[in-house]
Structures are given as C-alpha cells and as structure tokens.
Amino acid sequence: MRKFCFTILVLVFILSGCVTIKPKDFTYPYIAEYTGLDTLISIDGYYVAQRECDSTFFSVFMFYPDGLFTIATTSDVSGLKDCFENGGQSNLCQYPSWGTYRIEGNIIKTQTIRQEGMGISTIFRDYEINNTQILINISDYVVPQNTNLGYMKDYPYFSENRCSEAASFYPLAKKRSEKDCPFINKKWFNQNK
C-alpha cells in the first residue's frame, strides 16, 4: 500500500508540471491570422533592446506575421542567430517566453506567458513604432495581484521607459518554428483549437 501511495504521489507531482492554466489577465488569444505588422516594421528577424537604462540585460524578441511573439532576456547576446533561426541548444533558446501581440495605432501591445510548474503570470510589454520603422520598448510590467508566481510580484517593471533607445534589428534567413511555442495547442491560448 505504501508503494502504491508513493507511486501515485510521484505521478501527481510529474503530471502537475505538465498542466497549463490560463493566466487571469491573458486577453490576447492567438488568432493565427495575418496582422499586417510586416508593413510597419521588419519582422524577418529578431530585435535586441536594452531592457532598462541601468540594466545589463537585453530583451531579445521576434514577431511572427500571425500574431505570435517570443522574447528572452539575457546579458549575453552572442549565439542568438542560431537560437532564433533554429531553436538552438542554449538555455536562452530553450526557455523563451511566448505570447501574442496586437497593433493599436503605432503601438505593438504584447502579452507573454511566464510559467514555472503550476505558477503562471502574464508579462505586458509595449513597443512604439516611430515614423522611421524604429521600435522602442515603452513599457514592461506585470499586474502583481494576477500572478501565481510569488517572486513576480516584485518584477522589476516600468510602466513608462525612462530611456527610450531604439531596438536593433537582425535579419534571419528563416525563423524558428512556431510549433516551439508550448501553448500553441492549448484552447485558452489558440482560439482556433
């Protein structure tokens, strides 16, 4: 009996890591339809932007033409081409955040999902497109009361970027597969499922 209970407990623990719950404030389901973003900015590659004025971290992000978005934060931007073309083998490549975007005027509003075990959170990032197709990260935040990840309540966010430096664009011959997104087959994420 002890062995049976232990086995059940182990199975519950393992399966709980596979469950994905919709974040409370995730409101941009993946629509898998052409957004027209490629008429406003270059999307055949990835962008690199300094995360904050006083930060040594960079945000590395990429848009897909159908509303999908992926981002990672790193202090080392070397080797990113393989990551964003092929998925790569580094931790940065294996654990990016995935989400969606909407275009509102000259603002790209993104919602990405951060999941760890049973905890989940939505991270909101907004990018302004200036008149010369330059992207600037203007906000990066979570809603603390809506996160199930305890440490995310103190997420070092900014609702208004104090140092609006342009993101650098790096073209790619191809992009990593959208199938790498772990939520692509979840009904709460993908409205076409």
Q: What is the pLDDT of residue 47?
A: 92
46-60, 130-144, 161-175, range with the lowest pLDDT = 46-60
Q: Mean pLDDT, to the nearest integer, of 143-170?
A: 73
Q: What is the pLDDT of residue 74?
A: 79
Task: Give the other-Cβ count within 10 Å of 79's Cβ.
Answer: 13
Does residue 4 carry a pLDDT above 50? no
- Split at pLDDT 50, 70, 90, the class of 166 is confident
Q: Is the pLDDT of residue 124 over 80?
A: yes
Whether 108 contacts 63, CB under 8 Å: yes
What are φ and ψ of residue 77, in 5° steps?
Answer: -95, 5
pLDDT at residue 156, rounded to an integer: 61
Mean pLDDT of 97-113: 95
How many Cβ atoms from other residues are within 10 Å of residue 98's Cβ? 20
Contact predicate 24/115, CB 8 Å: no
Tokens 């993104």 correspond to what residue? Answer: 110
Question: What would the mean pLDDT of 61-76 be, rounded to a whole number?
Answer: 90
Pick 129 or 87 by higher pLDDT: 129
- pLDDT, residue 93, reads 72
- Segment among 90-99, 138-147, 154-163, 184-193 with least mean pLDDT: 154-163
pLDDT greater than 50 at residue 30: yes
